[in-house]
Amino acid sequence: MATIWFYHLQRSGLEDELPKLLEKVQERGKRAVVMAGSPERVEALTQHLWSYRDDSFLPHGNAKDGNPAEQPIWLTETDENPNEAAYLFLTDGAVSEKLEEYERCHDMFDGRDQEALTAARARWKALKAAGHELAYWRQKEQGGWEKAA
């Protein structure tokens, strides 16, 4: 069974938190796939990762860039792992049928959006029933994350 961590975004958005988590993946010498809800969202996240902070660099690419095997972080709207990533980041309510290919999956959802929250609860329930190992992380008041389940 897969290990899936749910990240409940309550105080800041995906654009603030995703780069921080991807930096941790890089520090571990691992690769990541970021799955978004549409090609437009992939492009927006791609552009954001180039400019999110002046003093940081996260090497990444998407289908427009090609050469997925050379990309430590691959952004996509399809359920694929072309860079042999260890970590999967699901955004925008994206779901994967390939969870077993990864060491860990991170399901990031906007808790300020009732529809996204309801959908995340449904994913949690279905994944738990399927026997996956789940953890729930919520944002702390002063930033960072705390494990709540």
pLDDT digits (tens, 9 = 90+) for 38-81: 999 999 999 999 988 888 889 999 999 989 999 999 999 999 99
Q: Length of the chain in residues, anyone?
A: 149
pLDDT at 25: 97
Instruction: Give the model's confidence band at 95: pLDDT under 50 very low, under 70 low, under 90 confident, else very high.
Output: very high
Would you state the structure tokens that stand for residue 34, as one six-digit string? Answer: 């970021």
Q: How far apart are CA 104 and CA 41, in angstroms?
A: 22
Average pLDDT for residues 107-128, to the nearest whole number? 96
Question: Angle CA(86)–CA(90)–CA(94) in degrees, nearest 5?
Answer: 135
Counting residues of the chain whose pLDDT is more than 70, the rounded percentage is 100
| Tens digits of residue pLDDT in 99-115 | 999 999 999 999 999 99
Tell me the whole-structure pTM to 2 decimals. 0.95
Q: How far apart are CA 134 and CA 16, in angstroms?
A: 23
Fold of domain 3-147: Rossmann fold (3.40.50)
Residue 135, pLDDT > 90, answer: yes
Q: Are 94 and 37 in contact (CB under 8 A)?
A: yes
